[in-house]
Structure 1
Amino acid sequence: MPRYEYRCRSCGDTFELSRPMAESSAPAACPVGHHDTVKLLSTVAVGGSASASAPAPSPGGAGGCCGGGCCG
């Protein structure tokens, strides 16, 4: 089930709720009970690796955009 992040405009508290996607736009009360909340836009990292490296250059420096040839 997706988690959505909200911020309360009354007290400034930020909180998360797990709810079905069909209820993603439904109003949410903050844990203190205020109802003036706004859903925050969250970014999600999917797959990949933070330590991914660039491909090795071709022998002799030819090929690749920075090795000459394809950039004009």
Structure 2
Amino acid sequence: MPRYDFRCRACGDTFELNRPMAESSAPATCPQGHRDTVKLLSTVAVTGRGGGAPSAPPSGGCCGGGGCG
């Protein structure tokens, strides 16, 4: 189930709620009971099992190896 971040405009508290995507835009009440909240834009970090960034092509010279003269 997705997690959504909210900030309370009344007390400034930030909090998270787990709710279905169908309820993503539903109003939220902060843990202190205030109803004036705003949903925050969340960032997502995507990581993979690859070996990092792809290797760069060879550099140097007109043919990529630096041996052209």
Shorter-normalised TM-score: what interval?
0.7 to 0.9
Q: Structure 1: any 5+ residue segments left out of the alignment?
A: 68-72
TM-score using structure 2 length: 0.75
Greater radius of gyration (CA) = 2
Q: Deviations over 1:49-72 (max 9, x none)?
A: 7x83451442x7317xxx8xxxxx
Q: Which 4+ stretches in 1 moved above 4 angstroms?
A: none
Note the aligned Cα RMSD (angstroms): 2.5
Shift of 1:29: 0.0
Aligned length: 62
Shift of 1:47: 2.2
Q: Deviations over 1:21-56 (max 9, x none)?
A: 00000000000000000000000011247x834514
TM-score using structure 1 length: 0.72
| 1:4 alignment partner, SS class | strand
In structure 2, the partner of 1:15 is 15
Identity score, percent: 73
Q: Structure 2: any 5+ residue segments left out of the alignment?
A: none
In structure 1, the partner of 2:39 is 39
